[in-house]
Amino acid sequence: MTQTKVNELKNYVGGRWMEAKTDKTAPVYNPATGETIANVPISTQEDVEHAIQAAHKAFETWKDVAVPKRSRILFKYQQLLVANWEELAKLITIENGKSYTEAYGEVQRGIENVEFAAGAPSLMMGEQLPSIATDLESGVYRYPIGVIAGITPFNFPMMVPCWMFPMAIATGNTFVMKPSERTPLLANRLAELLEEAGLPAGVFNIVHGAHDVVNGLLDHKQVAAISFVGSQPVAEYVYKRGTDNLKRVQALAGAKNHSIVLRDANLENASTQIMNAAFGSAGERCMAASVVAVEESVADAFIARLTQKANEIKIGNGLDEGVFLGPVIREQHKERTLNYIETGEKEGAKLIRDGRKDEAVKQKGYFVGPTIFDYVTSEMNIWKEEIFAPVLSIARVNDLDDAIALTNQSRFANGACIFTRDGGKVRQFRETIDAGMLGVNIGVPAPMAFFPFSGWKDSFYGDLHANGKDGLQFYTRKKVITTKWI
Ligand code: NAD
Residues contacting residue 379 through CB under 8 Å, at least 6 positions apart: 347
pLDDT at 5: 59
- For the cut 50, the answer to whether the pLDDT of residue 222 exceeds it is yes
Q: What mean pLDDT is predicted for residues 398-426? A: 98
pLDDT in tens, 112-159: 999 999 999 999 999 999 999 999 999 999 999 999 999 999 999 999
Among the listed residues 111, 147, 286, 292, the single catalytic one is 286
Q: What mean pLDDT is predicted for residues 91-104? A: 98
- Which of 22, 96, 73 shows the shortest CA–CA distance to 327? 96
Q: What mean pLDDT is predicted for residues 175-182? A: 98
Does any ligand 1 atom lie closer than 6 A to the CB of residue 159?
A: no
pLDDT in tens, 394-407: 999 999 999 999 99
Torsion of CA 391, 27, 231, 240, to 10 degrees: 170
User: Which atom of ligand 1 has the smallest separation from the CA of 154?
Assistant: 26
Cα diameter, the chain: 83
Read off the amino acid at residue 271. Answer: S
Interatomic CA distance for residues 263 and 74, integer angstroms: 47
CA–centroid distance, 229 to ligand 1, in Å, is: 6
Q: Which helix (H) or strand (E) holds 431?
A: helix 423-432
pLDDT at 355: 98
Q: What pLDDT band is residue 353 in, cutting at 50, 70 and 90?
A: very high
Sheet holding 25-29, edge to edge: 7-8, 36-41, 25-29
- Between 485 and 424, where is the model more confident? 424
* Residue 286 is among the residues annotated as catalytic for this protein: yes
Q: What pLDDT band is residue 4 in, cutting at 50, 70 and 90?
A: very low
CA–centroid distance, 267 to ligand 1, in Å, is: 34
Q: What mean pLDDT is predicted for residues 421-428? A: 98
Looking only at the bridges linking them, the beta strands covering 204-206 and 371-374 are unpaired
DSSP assignment of 43-67 equals --HHHHHHHHHHHHHHHHHHTTS-H
Scanning 267-413, the segments in alpha helix (DSSP H) are 267-279, 296-311, 331-346, 381-384, 400-407
pLDDT at 99: 98
pLDDT at 1: 40
pLDDT at 6: 74
Q: What mean pLDDT is predicted for residues 448-452? A: 97
Q: Which of 96, 109, 155 to mutate to test the pocket of ligand 1 (most atoms within 8 A of CB)?
A: 155
Residues contacting residue 462 through CB under 8 Å, at least 6 positions apart: 239, 249, 250, 251
User: Which atom of ligand 1 has the smallest separation from the CA of 414?
Assistant: 41
CA–centroid distance, 155 to ligand 1, in Å, is: 9
DSSP label of 448: P
pLDDT at 301: 98
Q: Compute CA distances 333 → 289, 365, 368, 393, whole Å.
A: 18, 12, 10, 18
Q: What pLDDT band is residue 69 in, cutting at 50, 70 and 90?
A: very high
Interatomic CA distance for residues 104 and 116, integer angstroms: 19
- For the cut 50, the answer to whether the pLDDT of residue 3 exceeds it is no
- Kindly calculate the radius of gyration of the chain based on its CA atoms and give it in whole angstroms: 23
- Report how far Cα 360 is from the mean position of its chain's Cα atoms: 27
**192 labeled part of a ligand binding site:** no
Interatomic CA distance for residues 264 and 397, integer angstroms: 14
Does any ligand 1 atom lie closer than 6 A to the CB of residue 151?
A: yes
User: Which atom of ligand 1 has the smallest separation from the CA of 153?
Assistant: 26
Across the chain, what does the average pLDDT equal? 97
